[in-house]
Amino acid sequence: MGGTMQRILLLASNPLQDNQDEVSLPLYRMSVSAGIPLPTDEDIEEEIDLNSFLIKHPNSTFFARVIGDAENFDGIRDGDILVIDTYQKPDDGKLILIQMNKNLTIRRYRMFDDQEYIQTPNGQYLPINSSFFDTLDYVGQITFIIHSLKAY
């Protein structure tokens, strides 16, 4: 396949299993640009609970941390946390987590002529038919990527 693989560290099998308190934070209905003053309460569009926003299937969702500075795939960086939904079937063009030769890796799922393909997320290499891999298992679709801006 070429390229350097990023290592993936599994963080939790069920992020909501500890009956965490829900925390809803305001989502403001304005566009935000650098230097804009703090919004007022009248600008609140709705309250958002990040657990509900990020996790659609709590019993089938887990987090994984990306380890390593392999290629920058769709903005995925070392230390980022992936939200992976194992219930959701892969959608064409979406990022997925697969287990290939006993290693977890990120790939883009593609469908052409009713055939399943995987490719590097940045599209640097041509898609490869998934039937060529004896030990390829779909783990889940990556639904969100969380990364901190403190290092940037």
Please answer whether residues 68 and 11 qualify as being in contact, where contact means their C-beta atoms are separated by less than 8 angstroms: no
The average pLDDT across 42-49 equals 76
pTM above 0.85, yes or no: no
Determine the Cα–Cα distance for residues 114 and 110; give it in Å rounded to an integer.
10
- Residue 106 · residue 45 · CB < 8 Å: no
Same domain, yes or no, for 123 and 80?
yes
DSSP state of 21: P
- Answer yes or no: do 134 and 63 share one domain: yes
CATH number at residue 130: 2.10.109.10
- Decide if 1 is inside a domain: no
Tell me, yes or no, whether 93 lies in a domain. yes
Instruction: Please count the residues of the chain.
Output: 152
Structure tokens at 142: 């990556």
Domain that holds residue 141: 7-16+57-146
Residues 40 and 92 in one domain: no
Q: How many domains does the chain have?
A: 2
Domain identity same for 89 and 142: yes
* Domain identity same for 40 and 108: no
The overall average pLDDT reported for the chain is 76
pLDDT digits 0-9 by tens, 99-124: 887 888 888 999 989 888 888 777 77
Tell me the HSE value of 21 on the side-chain side, using a 13 A CA sphere.
Answer: 3
69 in the same domain as 32: no
Shared-domain flag, residues 45 and 73:
no
Q: Report pLDDT for 124.
A: 74
68, part of any domain: yes
Statement to judge: residues 48 and 61 lie in one domain: no
